[in-house]
Structure 1
């Protein structure tokens, strides 16, 4: 079994991945900004790791010991129109979702490269290949993440490192409900925000995503991109088949 370090394991998808992998016999190192939130997880190690803090990342990777697999899951989102979203919020999402993922990958890659083996699994989103209104900053951070992941697949494949991007659609993890919302009083974009549930489509559970991540890790030759669940497969297929010369949405907007 593999030694797997998971970022953002305190709740939602990350917690479900930790439980799933531990149940399959993997040695799981669960990490979070507040390690006390990991106390009830059945894992080998619980470490503090803030993906936006280089010192925190370096310390956690040292304390974890040998890491066969990195599951880069830590992420945040926001709800706001691009016309008025605070740029500080966009920067925050890129710091966590994109640069944070790269920071941890950089920390684990030298040892993987020297061993000639390793796995990087990035939890992305269907929004890494398409956009949804009012969630544009999150989507942009995931598009950037997928560019980094694909580049890493090319650069590190020669050294025996395999890279995969897991792409869920809407997940019943509570992340959307916890998201900061930036809408003013009588905001003209409020009807679009209220239409989001229909635009996001069918929900899957964190456990569904965790099972996809585990299956990806256990594949000898995993694909680069892995949709997590039937709704994600349908959405990504529709995006692939749609014309590239006009914006694409999963559903019509009624606002």
Structure 2
């Protein structure tokens, strides 16, 4: 079985991934910004790791010992129109979702390269291949993440490192409900925000995503991109089949 470091394991998808992998016999190192939130997880190690803090990342990777697999899951989102979203929020999402993922990958890659084996699994989103209104900053951070992941697949494949991107659609993890919302009083974009649930589509559970992550880790030759569940498969297929010369939405809305 593999030694797997999971970022953002305190709740939602990350916690489900840690539980699933431990149940399948893997040695799991669960990490979070606040390690006390990892209490109760049936894992080998619980470590503090803030993906935006280089010192925190370096210490956690050192304390974890040998890491066969990185599951890069830590992420945040926001709800706001691009016309008025605070740029500090956009910067925050890129620091966590994109640069944070790269920071941890950089920390684990030298040892993987020297061993000639390793796996990087990035938890992305269908929004890494399409956009949803009012969630544009999150989608942009995931598009950037997928560009980094595909580049890493090319650059590190020669050294025996396999890279995969897991792409869920809407997940019943509570992340959307916890998202900061930036709408002013009588905001003209409020009707679009209220239409968002219809655009996000059918929900899958964190456990559904965790099962896909586990299967990807255990696959002898995993694909680069792995849709997590039937709703994600349908959405990504529709995006691929849609014309590229006009904006694409999963569903029509009247707002």
Which bin holds the TM-score, normalised by the shorter protein? over 0.9
CA distance in 2, matches of 1:2, 1:226: 20
| CA apart distance, 1:87 | 0.2
Question: 1:132 matched to which residue of 2?
Answer: 132
State the Cα distance separating 1:39 from its structure 2 match.
1.1
Deviations 1:55-96 (A, max 9, x none): 000000000000000000000000000000000000000000
In the TM superposition, residue 21 of structure 1 has moved relative to its aligned partner by 0.1
Runs of at least 5 residues in structure 1 that lack an aligned partner in the other structure: none
User: Could you say which residue in structure 2 is the equivalent of 1:52?
Assistant: 52
Question: 1:254: Cα distance to partner?
Answer: 1.3
Q: C-alpha displacement at 1:253, in angstroms?
A: 1.3
Alpha-carbon distance in 2 for matches of 1:183, 1:253: 19
* TM-score, structure 1 normalization: 1.00
Counterpart position of 2:36: 36
Which of structure 1's runs of 4+ aligned residues deviate more than 6 A? none
The alignment of Structure 1 onto Structure 2 pairs a total of residues equal to 255
Residue 144 of structure 2 is matched in structure 1 by: 144
Give 1:2 deviation, angstroms. 0.1
Q: Map residues 66-215 of structure 1 onto 2, 5 A cutoff.
A: 66-215=66-215
| Structure 1 counterpart SS, 2:141 | helix
| SS in structure 2 at match of 1:187 | coil
Taking structure 2 as the reference length, the TM-score comes to: 1.00
- Shift of residue 229, structure 1, vs aligned partner: 0.1
Q: Deviations over 1:160-188 (max 9, x none)?
A: 00000000000000000000000000000
Deviation at 1:54, TM superposition (A): 0.0
Root-mean-square deviation (Å)? 0.2
Which digits, 9 at most, give the CA deviation of each residue in 1:200-252, with x for residues without a partner?
Answer: 00000000000000000000000000000000000000000000000000000
Q: Give the distance between the partners of 1:153 and 1:77, measured in 2 at CA.
A: 25
Separation in structure 2 between the aligned mates of residue 124 and residue 252 of structure 1, nearest angstrom: 24
Aligned counterpart, 1:222: 222
Give secondary structure in 2 for the equivalent of 1:8. coil
The C-alpha deviation readout for 1:109-129, integer Å capped at 9, x for no partner, is 000000000000000000000
In the aligned structure 2, how far is the partner of 1:192 from the partner of 1:207? 30
